[in-house]
């Protein structure tokens, strides 16, 4: 079992920490200098808002990636980029609902880092890490083992964390090479920089496509006997409105969202039909 520190402020964490976790996007994103404080630590990068797929962890909580269903397409996109992602959730409030969203979308579960501030240094079954202590109300005066009294959280971590530890047990570096779904190789640092630069554009394009999916859901609601061809036509129109490469990337991210919407609209008794429709759309998007 290992111990991991995380904080919005890298300076609050001891430089000899075995493992550290910090944000790579959002207003609390760590700088390169922040990460450089921990040359010998296993470093875990957290995406607070889903602006990058380089991060190993997506933070699902109010104020970050929320509601839970929003993380499903992010996990799909991360896998397409060669990442083996983990999702951070509150163990008792959000773990169950978030798992249910993956089940509804027909997407395999990611790894799980759960938060439960009980001071118990143990990882529950089904998770790779548990955040067991938070700063607490009074700096320097922890009320119990569930508080650190410092400006950081503490987590218990399994000896091997898929997606974070490679086969040699080393940390993932900004210099590590990542190959995307088109076979093009970049350094992790390059990928992170480009992802952040184009985050706003991607968000706008994704919003446009999701608006088309809303239109699709409206069609299904009005006529539950709508054909798969009609559904494909609506999605095709959305794809053609964007550049081909960008549209394909966004469409891949949206397939999980589409699956949830169609399943909900067709109802429990028509789940097989819903999946068949979405599978047909996914094949069409991958081909066009």
pLDDT at residue number 6: 98
Average pLDDT rounded to a whole number, residues 13-24: 96
Average pLDDT rounded to a whole number, residues 197-225: 62
| Range with the largest mean pLDDT of 31-40, 42-51, 86-95 | 86-95
In the predicted structure, residue 167 carries a pLDDT above the cut 50: no
In the predicted structure, residue 272 carries a pLDDT above the cut 60: yes
pTM equals: 0.62
Instruction: Assess contact for 124 and 148: CB atoms under 8 A.
Output: no
Residue 250 phi, psi (nearest 5): -65, -40
Rounded Cα gap, residues 34 and 65, in angstroms: 23
Beta-carbon contacts of residue 195 (< 8 Å; ≥ 6 apart) = 51, 52, 53, 54
> Which domains does the chain show, CATH number per domain?
2-165 (3.20.20.80), 199-287 (no CATH)
- Of residues 3, 79, 8, 10, the one with CA closest to residue 42: 3
pLDDT at residue number 133: 97
Beta strand segments in the chain, E = 2-6, 19-23, 42-47, 57-59, 86-90, 111-115, 129-133, 153-157, 177-179, 185-187
Exposed (0-12), middle (13-18) or buried (19+): which is 204, by Cβ within 10 Å? exposed
Note if the bond before 70 is cis, omega within 30 degrees: no
Average pLDDT rounded to a whole number, residues 276-281: 74
pLDDT in tens, 92-142: 999 999 999 999 999 999 999 999 999 999 999 999 999 999 999 888 999
Q: What are the respective helix, strand and coil percentages of the chain, to the nearest 5?
A: 40, 20, 40
């Amino acid at each position: 079992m290992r111990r991991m520190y995380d904080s919005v402020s890298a300076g609050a964490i001891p430089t000899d920490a075995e493992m550290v976790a910090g944000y790579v996007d959002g207003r609390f994103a760590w700088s390169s200098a922040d990460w450089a404080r921990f040359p010998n630590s296993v470093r875990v990068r957290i995406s607070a808002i889903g602006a990058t797929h380089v991060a190993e962890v997506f933070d699902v909580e109010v104020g970050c990636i929320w509601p839970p269903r929003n993380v499903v397409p992010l996990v799909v996109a991360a896998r397409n980029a060669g990442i083996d992602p983990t999702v951070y959730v509150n163990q008792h409030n959000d773990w169950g609902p978030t798992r249910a969203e993956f089940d509804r979308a027909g997407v395999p579960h990611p790894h799980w880092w759960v938060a439960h501030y009980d001071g118990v240094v143990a990882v529950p079954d089904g998770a790779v890490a548990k955040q067991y202590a938070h700063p607490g109300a009074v700096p320097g005066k922890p009320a119990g083992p569930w508080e650190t009294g410092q400006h950081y959280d503490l987590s218990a971590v399994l000896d091997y964390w898929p997606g974070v530890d490679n086969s040699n047990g080393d940390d993932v570096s900004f210099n590590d090479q990542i190959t995307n779904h088109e076979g093009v190789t970049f350094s992790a640092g390059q990928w992170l920089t480009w992802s952040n630069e184009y985050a706003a554009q991607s968000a706008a394009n994704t919003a446009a496509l999701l608006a088309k999916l809303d239109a699709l859901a409206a069609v299904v609601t009005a006529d539950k006997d709508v054909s798969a061809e009609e559904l494909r036509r609506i999605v095709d129109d959305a794809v053609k409105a964007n550049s081909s490469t960008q549209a394909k990337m966004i469409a891949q991210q949206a397939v999980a969202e589409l699956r949830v919407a169609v399943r909900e609209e067709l109802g429990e008794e028509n789940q097989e039909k819903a999946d068949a429709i979405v599978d047909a759309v996914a094949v069409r998007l991958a081909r066009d």
